[in-house]
A and B are shown apart, each in its own frame.
Chain A
Amino acid sequence: MDTESTHSGYSYHSSRSGRSNRHGDRSRERHKASSKDSVRSERSVVINPPDSPSQESPVHNGEPLPGEPIPGGEQGDEAQDDNWGETTTAVTGTSELSISQEDVVGLGKEIQDRTQGFRRYLPVAVGLCVGLLMVATPLVFLLLPVVMWPDRLQACGTACEGLFLSISFKLLILLVAIWALFIRQSRASLPRVCVYRAFLTTLTLLLTMSYWLFYGVRILDAQDEDYHGIVQFAVSLVDSQLFVHYLAVVLLELRHLQPCYSVCVMRSTDGETRHYNIGQLSIQKAALSILEYYYRDFPLHNPALLSASKHRAAKHLAGLKVYNVDTPGSTAGAQPSNGNQSRAMVTAAGKRKDSAHNELYYEEADYERRVRKRRARLVVAVEEAFTHVRRMKKEDERATPSDIMDVREAALAIFPSMARALQKYLRTTRRQHCHSMESIQKHLGFCLINNMSPKAFLEAYLAPGPTLQYGPERWMADQWTLVSEASVTSGIKEGTEFLLKCLDFTLAVSIKGIPYIRLTEEYIDPKSHKFILLLQSETSV
């Protein structure tokens, strides 16, 4: 698969995406045929429990999700715990050949096919194989002469022993280095293979092949007797491998550490924007690090908060009635009049919507007041609840055993007094689906153990936290699709823009370069800091 994607032309991409899509279709049918339960147990760890509110929460409030014909149950298949950075096949070609009808239709509905598991472990497997090859080759170089023509071999003394020592330590270092750099759990699966990895693999294999070639011709065929020379040959191979590894470290790890681009990430539904600095990366790697930042920084996506603007838009549209007076196939002369009529309708509706902004203003003011009132009640309730429990001290040991409780019981004991106020507050701010009763009690227990103040306990509920804080079933952002006009393995440049789509919203990413900074120095003599006093005196004469 490495060698396949190094020459990624647009036409090639279409065949690849078509292939994977067809595969996806086939596997989709396979899913429907087999029992859902077996598929679910095969792949997932925590799936939607039947009473979990997330999938039936405001998203399904009678508004169908766009392009979502799959019922909620199968959607749960994708909510796997260890899958947060997963991306699916990208549609990135710009030539009309590459976007087939299948691709466009399949954009929102792609589900993971069985090859996904294979793709996850592929980089690790390749790294392992290449690494073992690397480490084994010098050893084989050294052993073959000893095995094949031991009698004719010239023994070499201390110089060889020194070289054996150095080979062994270098091989050990190489082994550890390969393990550290390549044998790692991959944290995401990207649509295309990293160019640098492919390049490095090719380079290493080329190096090894050429060494094998020389070895085979010069040493095996000729049955060279100079063992010292053979050992030096093996040492030079290990040195070259270490340098290639150094190149790997520089290309894969160091190059993108220095920031040179500033990235602006905007969520499409509520406009949350964040800015980050990243280094020189390919588009897919940049998308990956942006997604990791997304889970850390962006507050949880809450579809319940967007319904207000949708209602307003719906009302505005309902006020417009455009009638088509002309029969279909009318003359060209009649068309402009239709256009004029619709324009007249729009201006009439515009005059009528003068009251909409008034409504919005009063609604928002009212909402603010309600939230503040509920918040005040909540704060008081929580503070009162926290006064009922305190840590057990020495003198309390003589108290009746029924009074001494562990954390869970203590949390359960004080929870009811604040539960109602908390529930009402969460309902007002439309976040009641983010927190379940167990999670609230667990958080309460956590705060009690760590001696937190009531305010500290409340902070988790007053503002929406980052997406990662909630469990995977609440993210509503499991599968990501990278939509880009440029090829995803090309590096990011000033002015690059791409989209990260998930089912409910998209993240629009635009890239600007960090400006070239010209810094000059100016020397100030410390003795030059002298001052005079300016007075304004008035003297009478």
Chain B
Amino acid sequence: MIATIWRRAAPHLSRPSHPRAALAILTSHTLTFSTTTQTPSPAAKMDAIGVLMMCPMNTYLEQELDRRFKLFRYWTQPKQAEFLSQQAESIRAVVGNATAGASADLIDALPRLEIVSCFSVGLDKVDLARCGEKGVRVTNTPDVLTDDVADLAIGLMLAVLRRICVCDKYVRSGAWKLGDFKLTTKFSGKRIGIIGLGRIGLAIAQRAEAFDCPISYHSRSKKATNYTYYSSVVELASNSDILVIACALTPETTRIVNREVIDALGPKGVLINIGRGPHVDEAELVAALVEGRLGGAGLDVFEKEPEVPEQLFGLENVVLLPHVGSGTEETRKAMADLVLGNLEAHFSSKPLLTPVV
């Protein structure tokens, strides 16, 4: 017990081996604290740490940030540039997500920025290079949302192929008459092509295997799996009934699904996007769906959320979701706890939980 108290109160001093001596020093009020090696009790200090939250993303997270830190809500500032220049000296952390993160401009405007903690696994809204240059740490929320996103991908596939949303709407309209029916297409056994065989891609593959779906994939490099690898996305699309985007968004993967890929997927093929809107050439996708050149699509993400191309609203072969990939009570809380945990670790000089940079 004395060791624990010593670690907290005087880690910069060597502890005498005799407990009484140690106790004497601890109670003597002669301890001095160096700000470079010692952090006083975390709660007291962190109250004053400015954290900039970029947009509304989770009520629990917002409340906890407010409670534990000095929270600034970026989206409530009427004049954001002015706000930044006024508060620049206080802000030491940014909390971003898939909608808004930390651009180079923002990073440059916050000279005391030490850490960007993302409420997402995707980092496409964070200028990682600039963070690296300036020694700004970056964390995200991997693993905790893998299952939810993979579940949603399969849910989208079933919803599109079996027209579940169309059916629900039909019954609710009161229009169901006996003998009125449409045949859809079987999901089991369909060839699944996965772009990006990371955590989420693998989780999708494992679920699809339970439906006897043959799995192929495209990735930057071949992985040690038995799934069939294709070195080009076009080839993958040509050999798939359902193409699902599960890779990170980078300059290289922007518009990885373009006209050529859509053509290869074809009038019976289905595209599932649980990655990022910019993975797909959205205009080409909409045209292909409207013209019947693509069989269907299940989309959780769009180029300019929350805008969704209205030409899709009347189509029965699409399912449109408002970016809910990680949208469960359980997972959002786990993500929020990771954000908070990473921030507290950083400001307590402890190892980050899920660092990226």
A and B are interacting partners: no
